[in-house]
Structure formats: C-alpha cells, structure tokens
Amino acid sequence: MENNIDQAQRVARLLDLTSLQGNESQEDIRQLCAQCVGNFGHVAGLCLFPQFLSQAQQELKALGSPPIRLVTVANFPHGYLDISRAVQEIHQGLAAGAQEIDLVFPYGSFTAGAQDDVAHFLTTCRKACPVILKIILETGELRDPALIQAASELAIATGADFLKTSTGKSSVHATLTAARIMLETIAQSSRTVGFKASGGIRLVNEAVQYLALAEEILGKDWIGPHTFRFGASSLLQDILKTLDHGK
C-alpha cells in the first residue's frame, strides 16, 4: 500500500496545474511555471488561457524544458452551441502553442434534447483539433446519471481523447458518482479514452479516491498521464505540504 508521500508524488505527476482567471500577470505565470517542477518530478500539464501560453512556453524552456503539456480551453466555461466560435477558439489555442484542448460540452443544449446538434458540434470540433481533445461534460449541470452516461457515450463516439468532469466554474464540481459513470463508459468503449477529474479537488486524500475508483474499474496499470489527469489550481499546495511532512 502506498504511503502518503508516494500518493502525493503519484498525484503530482498526473496533475494539470490550472489557472483560468484571465487576469494573470507575468509574475503569476512565472510562479506557476516554477511550481510545475519540484522534488516530485514535474506535473503532467499546465492549463492556461491562450494569451498566456507563449510566456509559459518560454518559462518552461528556461527551467530545462521538462515534458509538461501546454493545455488551454475552448467554449469555456458556458458550453454554448456555437460551432464557429468554438472552432475559432480551438485555432487560437493551437496557434498559441497548445498541445491539448479542453473543450466544454454543450451541456445546456444536450439537456434540452438537441443531441443531434451537439453531435455535429463535437464532430466539427474534433476535425478542427489535431491534438489531444478533452471534452468537459460539466456533470454538475447534467446531474441525471442517464444524461451523464449518454453525454459520455456521445463524446467518445465523436472522437474525444479524454472525458473531463467539470470546468470548476459550476456550483457542483467533480463527484465520485459522476466519475464512476464516466469511467465505466470508458471501460465499455472500444477506444482508448482517458479521464480527467477536475473541479473542487483540493486535497491529496480526495484525489486518491478518484485513483482508487479508476483502479477498480480499469486497473492500476491503466493509470498514467496519457490516460488520467487531475485538473486543479490548489491541489498542488496540499501535495507540497504532504511531501514536506505537513509543514
């Protein structure tokens, strides 16, 4: 069984350190990049709005270019059913150096019954995105387990590389109940699809619960940065506190 130190290091290596306020200063970005590398190794990714990616790329290069993925968002955070806007934002992210795009699922339209329109939206966005595409389902807004499962199935069918729980901007964030539905849908898929737990996860012991659930459903060997991520802004602080023996 892993001890607290091992658990913290494992979680850190699966983390997409995230800052999506929109008003970050150059010093904020510099500090975020510095936090990406530590005695745990390095985080998996750094998620920022496109306008901050160029500086982040330079800051990480100055740190020795650790293999940290640059991530940005599109159709964020409201998940509108606006294909041209979403595609434009995907292109902006790619032009800024994004290696992964986290795209918000049009959850309001899906809940209202516009499944065909949402499918067309996702298919079009997939074609516009040649890099890793994570679909943010916003499960706290979908609420109904049947809707979460249906949204998961549709996202996988239209080419998602990852299913992600939440934007972190809704009143309900990631939950283990929603995660179980998403992971079980992934397990039933014929494709290799990853999972990202995001929104409201601040403590290592909370993160470990999601790892345990993924192990139960898909096996311990399935878990790695290529298939499992945490999206968080404050989780790293508890990781560092744990690694420093609570100081």
% of the chain beyond a pLDDT of 90: 96
Q: CATH topology for 4-243? A: TIM Barrel (3.20.20)
Joined tokens for residue 193: 């699809």
Element (H, E) at 194: strand 194-198
Which residues are the active-site residues?
Answer: 102, 164, 196
Domains of the chain by residue range: 4-243
Residue ranges of alpha helices (H) inside the chain are 4-12, 26-35, 53-62, 83-95, 107-111, 115-128, 139-142, 145-157, 176-188, 204-218, 235-243
Encode pLDDT of 42-53 as tens digits.
999 999 999 999
What pTM does this model have?
A: 0.97
Encode pLDDT of 101-125 as tens digits.
999 999 999 999 999 999 999 999 9
